[in-house]
Amino acid sequence: MSTRREIKDGALFDVLDRGIVYTEALGWLDMGHARGNDVAALKRQFVEGERSGKPSYSVMYRQDMGVLKFKSRLGVGKFSHWEIKRGRSTEDINRIMLAMMMNTASRFEGLQSLRSFSWYTDSGFSGEDLVSDLFGFYRAIIPGRYGYRLKPVSYESAVRRWDYYGAIGSHKNHGFRPILFPDPQDPCVRHQPYTVNLPHFMTWLRPWDDFASEVVKVITNDGTSLSFMGAKL
């Protein structure tokens, strides 16, 4: 879950890999989610599969969290496991990856919303999570500097929003459209959060939906992973 102490200055947007930033285009972004490392790892599975020479290959995408309880760390997550018919174009691969990410991310947020984890985190469907995942996807498939597109604000401006509207975890978002929080110091706008459409660069790709063909075979759409390890005292 994001906290006030994680807020970063928007001037650092293009070099951050953790913390949260407020942007005028996408609202709050979790820069950990927005790194896109998970998508890059998924892409490598496709590249290896296409080079394998086999008729089909398996790919898996997952999202996890760690919970400290009873002196042990519990790792829990959600994953999608699909089988892909070899011979896919770059566009096919990107669309399939987008569908896997959106499916798994939504299920992972639902997992965090369960009463079993509500004692630990308010992160389930926190306002920034799914939007950050989607931005991270596009950032991974088209690397570059995105600060000029998203217009991140200063640390002071971000803190004003946090203190006025409350923690982003208290604003739930079950979709991939961003929630914006007007600057409390702006006298010309209504000071109330509102949902907006995504910028064009995050809508040009449609998630894969042709599951009736033999191109994609779903092994599991709603897998749950668990791991345990002793905590260091």
Strands 179-180 and 72-85: unpaired
Contact of 40 with 137, CB cutoff 8 Å: no
Token pair belonging to 43: 């892409």
Give the pLDDT confidence score for residue 68 in this predicted structure. Answer: 46
* pLDDT band per the 50, 70, 90 thresholds, residue 64: confident
Give the pLDDT confidence score for residue 232 in this predicted structure. Answer: 41
pTM for this prediction:
0.90
**Which residue, 131, 62, 128, 49, is CA-closest to 100?**
62
* pLDDT band per the 50, 70, 90 thresholds, residue 125: confident
Read off the pLDDT of residues 70-109 as tens digits, 9 standing for 90 and up: 455 567 889 999 999 999 999 999 999 999 999 999 999 8
Read off the pLDDT of residues 132-170 as tens digits, 9 standing for 90 and up: 999 999 999 999 999 999 999 999 999 999 999 999 999
What is the number of other CB atoms lying within 10 angstroms of the CB of residue 228? Answer: 9
User: What is the secondary structure of 141-172 as a DSSP string?
Assistant: HS-S--HHHH-BPPHHHHHHHHHHH--GGGSB
Tokens 């709603």 -> residue = 222
What is the number of other CB atoms lying within 10 angstroms of the CB of residue 97? Answer: 24
